[in-house]
Structure 1
Amino acid sequence: MPPLKIGLIDLVSKGPANTLWAKIMHANLASIMPQVIATWCEQEGHDVTLICYTGYEDLTRELPKDVSLVFISTFTQASLLAYALSNYYRSQGAVTVLGGPHARCYPDDAALYFDYVLGFTSRSTITEILHNCVPHRPVGIQLSAGKQPANFCGVEERWKFIAPTLKKAPFLQIVPMLGSVGCPYTCPFCIDSTVPYQPLDFKTIQSDLRFLRTKYKKPWVAFHDPNFGVRFEENMDAIAAAGPPKSFRFIAESSLSILTEKHLQLLQQNGFIAVLPGIESWYDLGNKSKASHITGMEKVNQVSAHVNTIFRYVPYVQTNFVLGLDSDAGTEPFELTKRFIDQAPNAFPGFSLLTAFGEAAPMNLEYQKQGRVLPFPFHFLNNHLAMNIKPKNYDWVDFYDKVIDVTDYAFSAKALYRRFIHTHGTTTRWMNLMRAISSEGWGRLKFYRQIRQHLVHDRNFRKYFEGETQQLPAFYHEIIKKDLGIWWQWLPANALSHDANAYFHKSMNGHA
């Protein structure tokens, strides 16, 4: 077959970004799979251009030109921009393909706007598209390999696609790597809860780390594993064989159950400078924190002591919480989180609002069966801007009052000062402060207060949250229009709405 001209677009941002956090960090949030697919396509003999959109580029100038096939990878929050780009490229005669988390969460909706929608993607999946590169309209074809690939292209293979993106990061350049896919835990709200855990080749990890030492004096590496360190000894052996102690600076998401003191000693020895454990809830989901049989204040005391132990070995810890779980009721869950902030003052708290991402997790089917999922546009589904599940035990205003209260507590001047003085190292102190005063801390708090005001003073706004109407409030409509900018004109007519209960409807028809 003649070579194709192929474009790949990795959407880190859903529109122009102007925060300090975005400027410094968005280029470091590039996804691995677009780089892998770009490498596979090039190895098949095709002409490939990959861009990572961080929000700081002029997208109209950056987009691949004169292409016949376009792959777009996106999380749900940037999917409306993806839909607009697909519409634009289709008007130019190109075939479009969607991959990434949104394609897995909302495949039926995505198929209305793309020729191909990908679930798990192997090299043979990509080869099939390359050999059958034809439009499929009005409804695209859904393809899935059935499971995650056993092998991905390593860092050295995809370096030509990594390096240009990292050049966009002005100060800190973090290389993305994978040590495993899937997860051994079964948190029912998580997209990886039903994906079998699968370690990748440790020799590849070792060789990639050795390669990075030829590019950087002391490389920064972020493991994108859903849960790093399940095969702990093998991972540490691969790292230790790649260079002398502390040749690297690693960031990883791992569970508290893995972060024993013995393991922490090895992490410190091997250069781990940041870990992101999930606490999730004080009443539920305790398997990842070694606290499956305790709840409430007892769990706060145990977990905060554990986190403080981690800080003896690792200088930066982000603790992740999910707000609005069905196990939560009253003020106590939020007050317990405050007590944790008091007892572990150097930990950066990451708060997520409970969100059902389509077909991503088993629990979503139950929420849809109960009629509790709201049809918020995808633009706001990022765990922060909208909670698309009606809370079980809270009125909406009451819930936002409590979310605002705990967020304000976590990012108050007092909390920032305590976090600053209890944290060691210039980089970690700077990172905490930057995140707190930008969109992640104060910016999010400002947005929550706006939502609360609309809930109180705008009856139609409140009716949308109560599920009494599907008429999107103008507040949200204007945000989407502003963020998309010139791409608003390319957004397909019906893209602002979707079937929030599609997973349930499929299950009733025997397709889930």
Structure 2
Amino acid sequence: MGEVLKKHLKIGVLDLAARAPTRKMFSRIMRANLASIMPQIVGVWCEEAGHDVHFVCYTGSEDLLEELPSDIDVLFVSAFTRSAHLAYAISNLYQKQGTITVLGGPHARCYPEDAQKYYDYVLGITDKQLVHDLLQDCSQQRPYGVALSALRQPAFLPSVEERWRFISATLDKTPTRLKIVPMIGSLGCPYSCSFCIDSVIDYQPLEFDQIREDLKFIRRNMKNPMVGWHDPNFGVRMDDYMSAIEEAAPNASVPFIAESSLSLLSEKNVKRLGKAGCVATLPGIESWYGMGNKSGTGSRQGDEKVLQVSDHINMILRHIPYVQTNFVLGLDSDEGAEPFELTKKFISLTPGAFPESSVFIQIYDDIHVG
């Protein structure tokens, strides 16, 4: 175990939005728009504790050795599992320079034992007090790191204005007008899907007054604003959400993207979402044999569920231009070829949910060319 660090620290915060170097056009345009919200929040908390913060969202085109100072005391890294190998390599590089490394994000929460082999600290649920305590008394933990977690999710999070330095630096990397600000209005989820990491976290709405102020700030400071809601399940308290959005961003002045359960997307709610500026929604179907409470299909399974979900998605597409339907493959309830055949039928009945499918392109051409 190494020496405890000095109290005023030079801190790096690294959000791995890409898993490897790339020159692809998609990464140039979209990776910055897929930035996570928690690294920005940790950056604010570190600044509030009096430390110097160097923030980088890695989109695949940066040279991290140039972007991050070599003499940082503590490096926070946020990573999905798909970028875990890159995260481990970065930790190894900076640990050799004497830096204390901290991993957070989905990979840290899902695979803490593995991550402890490569990081001094691995964070699960993280709040301001945990970050403050860590920075007050952190040291090298070799060869096996320490796993830390708060008892519950934070009750309050920094505002968009407080995160703005990190948001604007990230969005400056995208060369187009499409610039998506990450926001969140709730934590946890009321559903209990066994595959979801948020299913064991109690649902907790954040302050709706803060949502109003954040949207007003975005309108004042962005020419063509768009928001990506990072809620595990957007709209559990739909009336409160929509009232806040309609008041702070009237006439769909701040378009947004959100992920909601089909059970929340009644036609009444979908119409209201569309009028308020929702341009894309990402409902989870998950399986043709289960999760009926989440998809609003009750006990219906198999072909019966396909028909009901197809009708539901087609209704949504009449009011919201883009729908991405999400599935989980390999659940215990999925056996044999039938799940794939049912999905193929769903695509035929609902081509708008897969806008790059041959069925959708053929229908589009028939309408616009024929």
TM-score (norm 1): 0.68
1:65 pairs, out of 70, 85, 99, with: 70
Aligned to 2:159: 154
- Measured in 2, the distance between the counterparts of 1:312 and 1:326 equals 34
Displacement of 1:327 in angstroms is 1.2
- Measured in 2, the distance between the counterparts of 1:276 and 1:223 equals 11
The 3 A distance-change label for structure 1 pair 14 and 270 is same
Is this contact kept in 1: 2:258–2:282, CA < 8 A?
yes
1:329 and 2:335 correspond: yes
Aligned to 1:251: 257
- Measured in 2, the distance between the counterparts of 1:235 and 1:414 equals 35
Structure 1 unaligned runs (5+)? Answer: 350-410, 424-512
Displacement of 1:237 in angstroms is 1.0
Aligned to 2:133: 128
Aligned to 1:109: 114
Is this contact kept in 1: 2:351–2:359, CA < 8 A?
no
Secondary structure of the structure 2 residue equivalent to 1:263: helix
Displacement of 1:19 in angstroms is 2.7
Is this contact kept in 2: 1:75–1:100, CA < 8 A?
yes
1:228 and 2:218 correspond: no
- Measured in 1, the distance between the counterparts of 2:366 and 2:323 equals 15
What pairs up with 1:294-313 in 2 under 5 angstroms?
294-313=300-319
Secondary structure of the structure 1 residue equivalent to 2:300: coil
The 3 A distance-change label for structure 1 pair 18 and 292 is farther
Displacement of 1:15 in angstroms is 0.5
What amino acid sits opposite 1:26 in the alignment? R
Displacement of 1:189 in angstroms is 0.8
Is this contact kept in 2: 1:345–1:422, CA < 8 A?
no
Displacement of 1:419 in angstroms is 5.8
Deviations 1:442-475 (A, max 9, x none): xxxxxxxxxxxxxxxxxxxxxxxxxxxxxxxxxx
Is this contact kept in 1: 2:70–2:97, CA < 8 A?
no
What amino acid sits opposite 1:4 in the alignment? L
What amino acid sits opposite 1:89 in the alignment? Y
Is this contact kept in 2: 1:257–1:289, CA < 8 A?
yes
Secondary structure of the structure 2 residue equivalent to 1:158: helix
Is this contact kept in 1: 2:102–2:119, CA < 8 A?
yes
- Measured in 2, the distance between the counterparts of 1:293 and 1:12 equals 38
What amino acid sits opposite 1:342 in the alignment? S
Secondary structure of the structure 2 residue equivalent to 1:134: coil
Aligned length: 362
Displacement of 1:420 in angstroms is 6.9
Displacement of 1:212 in angstroms is 0.2
Aligned to 1:179: 185
Is this contact kept in 2: 1:347–1:419, CA < 8 A?
no
What pairs up with 1:350-369 in 2 under 5 angstroms?
none
Is this contact kept in 2: 1:113–1:140, CA < 8 A?
yes
Structure 2 unaligned runs (5+)? Answer: 1-5
Aligned to 1:283: 289
Is this contact kept in 1: 2:260–2:282, CA < 8 A?
yes
TM-score (norm 2): 0.94
Aligned to 2:363: 418
Aligned to 2:146: 141
Is this contact kept in 2: 1:206–1:239, CA < 8 A?
yes
What amino acid sits opposite 1:143 in the alignment? L
Displacement of 1:413 in angstroms is 3.6
Aligned to 2:42: 37
The 3 A distance-change label for structure 1 pair 422 and 8 is farther
Aligned to 2:201: 195
Deviations 1:183-233 (A, max 9, x none): 111111111111111101111110000000012234110000110000111
The 3 A distance-change label for structure 1 pair 15 and 335 is same
Is this contact kept in 2: 1:113–1:139, CA < 8 A?
yes
Aligned to 1:427: none
Secondary structure of the structure 2 residue equivalent to 1:308: helix
- Measured in 2, the distance between the counterparts of 1:53 and 1:212 equals 23
What amino acid sits opposite 2:212 in the alignment? Q
Aligned to 1:207: 213
What amino acid sits opposite 2:362 in the alignment? Y
Deviates most, 329-338 or 97-106: 329-338
- Measured in 2, the distance between the counterparts of 1:218 and 1:88 equals 39
Is this contact kept in 1: 2:161–2:214, CA < 8 A?
yes
Is this contact kept in 1: 2:351–2:357, CA < 8 A?
no
